[in-house]
Amino acid sequence: MDDRLTPSTPVSNAVYIVDASVVSLKQAWNLIDFAQEVCNVPSYFSTIWSIFKKWVGPVTAAKLLVLQQSEVYTTLEKYIDKENIPTKFGGGFAFQNGMLPDLDHGIRQPLQWTTPSECIPPGPVKWMQADGGKRIAIATGSVDKNVLRNVEIAALC
C-alpha cells in the first residue's frame, strides 16, 4: 500500500486498548493474554498488577501497560495518531462498541470484493492463501448460533 511510510514492511504489531473502568479483578486476569494497554484502571489496580505480574512471563508483562486515567492519552499518543485515539481517551475517533471496520482507501483499493456489500461483515474474518498466491478474506463463525459461516468476501490482488 502506497499510503504507508514503508509499504514493503509487513504489519506485525497491533495495539489493543482495554477500558478497565468497569472491569473486575477476575475479568482483568483474563486480559493478559491479549491486551497491550489497560486504561482507566482504579488507583489500587497498579499495586495489584505489580504483585500479579510476578506470575506472568516477563515477555508478556513487558508488553502490558496498566494506565491510570491521567496517563492514558499521553501514553496512547506515543503509539497512535490523535485522530485514531477514541474520543473517550482524548483523541478524535468517535468509537462506539459494535462498530464495523471502516477500511481506508489504501486498503479498499487492492481488494476485489466477492460480495455485493463491499464491506467486512460482522464477526470473525480470516485471511487465507489461495491458489496462485492470491490472498482471500473468509467470513467465518456462525450466523444463527447453529449455522456455520465460511464465505469468501474479498481477494487481495
- pLDDT tens, position by position, 72-85: 899 999 988 999 99
Query: Is residue 64 located within the same domain as residue 37?
Result: yes
Query: Is residue 61 located within the same domain as residue 115?
Result: no
Query: Is residue 110 located within the same domain as residue 82?
Result: no
What is the rounded average pLDDT of the residues 131-145?
Answer: 86
Dihedral angle sign, alpha carbons of residues 66, 72, 78, 84: positive
CA pair distance 143, 147, nearest whole angstrom: 5
User: Which residue's C-alpha cell is 486515567?
Assistant: 69
154 closest CA partner among 123, 121, 131, 122: 121
> Between 140 and 69, where is the model more confident?
140
Burial class (CB in 10 A: 0-12, 13-18, 19+), 89: buried
CA pair distance 65, 72, nearest whole angstrom: 10
Where residue 56 falls among pLDDT bands split at 50, 70, 90? confident
* Within-domain flag for 75: yes
* Within-domain flag for 27: yes
Parallel, antiparallel, or unpaired for β 37-39 and 65-66?
A: parallel
Q: What is the pLDDT of residue 27?
A: 63
Of all helices (H) and strands (E), which one includes residue 25?
Answer: helix 25-31
Boundary residue ending a domain (37, 65, 89): 89
* Within-domain flag for 109: yes
Q: Contact, 65 vs 56, CB < 8 A?
A: no
Q: What is the pLDDT of residue 34?
A: 46
Query: Is residue 84 located within the same domain as residue 111?
Result: no
* Within-domain flag for 4: no
CA pair distance 144, 156, nearest whole angstrom: 28
In this prediction the pTM is 0.61
Number of domains in the chain: 2
Boundary residue ending a domain (39, 60, 89): 89
Boundary residue ending a domain (89, 113, 143): 89
pLDDT at 31 over 60: no
Lowest mean pLDDT among 21-25, 70-74, 107-111, 119-123: 21-25
Q: What is the pLDDT of residue 3?
A: 66
* Domain boundaries, position 128: 105-156
- pLDDT tens, position by position, 78-120: 988 999 999 989 999 998 888 888 888 888 888 999 988 888 8
